Amino acid sequence: MNHVRTIARRELRAYFATPVAYVFIVIFVALSGVFTFYLGNFFEREQADLTPFFGFHPWLHLVLAPAVSMRLWAEERQSGSVELLMTLPIAPWQAVLGKFLAAWCFIAVALALTFPTWITVNYLGDPDNGVILAAYCGSVLMAGAYLAIGACISAACRSQVVAFVTTVVVCFGFLLAGFPLVLDAFAGWAPDVLVDTIASLGFLTHFNAISKGVLDARDILYFLLVIAAFLYANAIVLDLGRGN
């Protein structure tokens, strides 16, 4: 675990070594505010909760999480430093986990900096803070799933732009897996079991359940499993790279 921490610390510092990190955080916080107060009609609803705030998170993360994950491996492959990393006495899973945790921490920091919204709603009314805390947990978990998908795709790409676009598309598929847009492509020819399985894979379904304050172990487990599966795939992609 020491190596995981070493890798994660280096990656996290790499994020903050350039202005990109600060630009990202400012955009993240600003956009979440814009969405909540203008598009979400926070004041007009006259309800002391953060439903409009969290309602936009699946879409906010959809664009911003791939921007965080795209550099994880593609940048190293581009610059060649992946050769240095992979010849140090570090197991591939340690590098994969370390990088992922750094990206996840980074998003968590950005998310934590939206706390003024929480303060605002507490100042204006008497919201159920348990629900808000659960929704924050759900948001972090969903961002983690996006990042794991993005890390895996980044490992397969040499170009960060390709990694970003591909990740957005794949994440979009996962986000809407329970909706007709995706399901209609399978209904009719695929067996019902498969369609039901795909329907149950939707991020939105699981996130909405958590953000209503229902911390069901199955929803949490779902996101953790998605993260684990894609990190495992990430290690496999790296290993395949050794063959070429």
Partner 1 sequence: MIRAESLSKHYGAIRAVDGISFTIEPGEIVGLLGPNGAGKTTTMRMCAGYLAPTSGSVQVHGFDLLTETIAACKTFGYLPEGAPLWGEMTPRAFLDFIADVRELQGDRRAQRIGEVTGLLQLESVLDQRIETLSKGFRRRVGLAQAILHDPPVLLLDEPTDGLDPNQKHEVRELIRGMSSDKIVVISTHILEEVEAVCSRAIIIAAGRIVADDSPAALAAQSDSNRLDRVFRRITTGESRAGAGGELS
Instruction: List contacts with partner 1 (CB under 8 A).
Output: 2-3, 6, 10, 13-14, 17-18, 79-84, 86-91, 242-244
Would you tell me how many other CB atoms lie within 10 Å of the CB of residue 131?
A: 19
Closer of 89 and 188 to partner 1 (Cβ): 89
**How far is the C-alpha of 57 from the C-alpha of 174, rounded, in Å?**
15
| CB of 207 closer than 8 Å to CB of 57 | yes
To partner 1, the closest distance from the beta carbon of 7 in angstroms equals: 8
Tally of residues, the chain: 244
**How far is the C-alpha of 147 from the C-alpha of 151, rounded, in Å?**
6
To partner 1, the closest distance from the beta carbon of 137 in angstroms equals: 31
Closer of 218 and 242 to partner 1 (Cβ): 242
Closer of 31 and 86 to partner 1 (Cβ): 86
To partner 1, the closest distance from the beta carbon of 10 in angstroms equals: 5
Residue 224 backbone class (left: φ over 0; alpha: ψ -120 to 50; beta: rest)? alpha
To partner 1, the closest distance from the beta carbon of 243 in angstroms equals: 5
- SS3 of 1, please? coil
Closer of 50 and 157 to partner 1 (Cβ): 157
Tokens of 41: 């009609």
